[in-house]
Amino acid sequence: MSFTYTRKAMKVDRQPRCRCRVGPGSFEVRARVERFAEPAVLLLLAEGPSHGYELADALEELLEEGRVDFGNLYRLLRSLEGEGLVASSWSEDAPGPLKRIYELTGEGAALLGAWAGSLRSGQARIARVLERYGAVAEKIDNTYHGKD
């Protein structure tokens, strides 16, 4: 009856982190900001204390990238706590399983500010590339589709 073990056999092809070819001349690309979960989590905690699972929900809505990986999220939270960027405590009142409630520290708020600045320059960098892409897009079309 129990076929749980068969799961092991179902090794899905791990897909590349950023992009993969899905057909001739057809690609799937995911431009991701490295460690983007960190500023996102700090932001959510700046809006108010929360716990892991709840943060996962909020992240899904904020990032629109599907469910974040719980493993990495909890690891992130613990490491942020280790650095003094967030502080945690177990919720006592709430029913259900114990929740570890996180809140932002002053240091964490400072880091969030630094992230905001860096994200702004990142946006500018991306904008520069996109602008230049727009300038050659027509040429590309002529070269590779018009007379190929």
Partner DNA sequence: TTCGAGTATAGGTGAACGACATAGGTGTCG
Partner DNA sequence: CGACACCTATGTCGTTCACCTATACTCGAA
List interacting residues with DNA (CB under 7 A).
Answer: 7-8, 10-12, 14-19, 32, 34-37, 51-54, 68-72, 74-75, 77-78, 95-101
C-beta of 25: minimal distance to DNA in Å? 20
CB nearer to DNA: give 130 or 137. Answer: 130
CA 85 – CA 82 distance, rounded (Å):
8
Tell me if 26 contacts a second copy by CB under 8 A: yes
Single out the residue of 47, 57, 60, 69 in contact with a second copy (rule: CB under 8 A): 47
CA 100 – CA 111 distance, rounded (Å):
22
Out of a second copy, DNA, none, what residue 87 binds, judged by CB under 5 to 8 A for its kind, is none
CB nearer to a second copy: give 30 or 75. Answer: 30
Distances (CA, A) of 108 to 12, 40, 63, 145: 37, 12, 20, 50
C-beta of 142: minimal distance to a second copy in Å? 11
Tell me if 66 contacts a second copy by CB under 8 A: no
Beta bridge partners of 28: 20
The answer for 76, left when phi > 0, alpha when psi is -120 to 50, beta otherwise, is: alpha
The contacts of residue 102 (CB under 8 Å, 6+ apart) are 45, 49, 50, 51, 52, 55, 77, 80, 81, 86, 87, 88
The interface region with a second copy, picked from 6-14, 17-25, 73-81, 88-96 by CB under 8 A, is 17-25
Out of a second copy, DNA, none, what residue 7 binds, judged by CB under 5 to 8 A for its kind, is DNA
